[in-house]
């Protein structure tokens, strides 16, 4: 089993990476592989609602969105991490995930996910709530922890000093691993996935 993570920071080895890495280290102790995908500092275009998504994902191929989608096909769980900018996730992770989920949300159904936020002080619960909406609309069970999934740190390296935050990351990893193993056991024992109704799209605006 494998967890695919997304680092929404432009800093490859900053505090968001530290938080995700703490999750990953604990996952490995639970017998689960992980990979952290770095969005990086290059521009990430927004979804423009063109409706030209294809089997590979987004029609635009000038960034890492489709490469992430290809990796998602083989993943059993997901963790999205972001620094906090003005009480909100980074713009790059939202642009990235908008295109990932708009084009390929079917790949994420019934696979557990979790979000992680990192900030100097405030705005983390709002950012946490924002990222969790991707899970809720895509039939993804959400893994929790013993506190909201957040780690404090401003300057590089400070996240490693937040002992409670790192404890929260380790407990998140344990819970995520447990969920993935339960789902695998259910599949092995013939428990089918829930049926999904489609077709009804109420629109009162004329």
What is the average per-residue pLDDT within 69-82?
Answer: 98
Q: At 200, is the pLDDT very low, low, confident or very high (cuts 50, 70, 90)?
A: confident
pLDDT digits (tens, 9 = 90+) for 183-195: 999 999 999 999 9
pLDDT digits (tens, 9 = 90+) for 49-63: 999 999 999 999 999
pLDDT digits (tens, 9 = 90+) for 107-127: 999 999 999 999 999 999 999
DSSP string, 88-127: SB-HHHHHHHHHHHHHHGGGGTT--EEEEEEESSS-HHHH
Among the listed ranges 127-131, 191-195, 198-202, which one has the minimum average pLDDT value?
A: 198-202
Q: Strands (DSSP E) along the chain, which ranges?
A: 2-7, 33-38, 77-83, 113-119, 150-152
For residue 206, the model assigns a pLDDT of 64
For residue 65, the model assigns a pLDDT of 97
For residue 112, the model assigns a pLDDT of 98
φ, ψ of residue 65 to 5 degrees: the values are -60, -50
């Amino acid at each position: 089993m494998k967890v695919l993570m997304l680092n929404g920071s432009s800093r490859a080895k900053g505090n968001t990476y530290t938080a995700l890495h703490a999750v990953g280290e604990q996952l490995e102790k639970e017998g689960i592989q992980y990979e952290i995908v770095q969005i990086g500092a290059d521009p990430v275009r927004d979804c423009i609602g063109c409706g030209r998504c294809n089997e590979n994902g987004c029609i635009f191929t000038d960034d890492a969105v489709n490469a992430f989608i290809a990796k998602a096909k083989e993943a059993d769980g997901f963790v999205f991490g972001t620094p906090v900018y003005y009480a909100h996730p980074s713009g790059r992770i939202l642009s990235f995930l908008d295109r990932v989920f708009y084009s390929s949300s079917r790949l994420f159904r019934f696979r557990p996910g979790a979000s992680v936020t990192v900030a100097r002080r405030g705005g983390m619960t709002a950012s946490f709530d924002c990222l969790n909406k991707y899970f809720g609309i895509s039939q993804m069970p959400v893994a929790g922890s013993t506190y909201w999934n957040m780690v404090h740190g401003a300057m590089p390296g400070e996240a490693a000093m937040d002992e409670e935050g790192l404890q929260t990351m380790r407990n998140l990893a344990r819970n995520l691993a447990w969920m993935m193993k339960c789902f695998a056991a259910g599949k092995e024992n013939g428990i089918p996935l829930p049926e999904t109704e489609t077709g009804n799209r109420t629109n009162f605006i004329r």
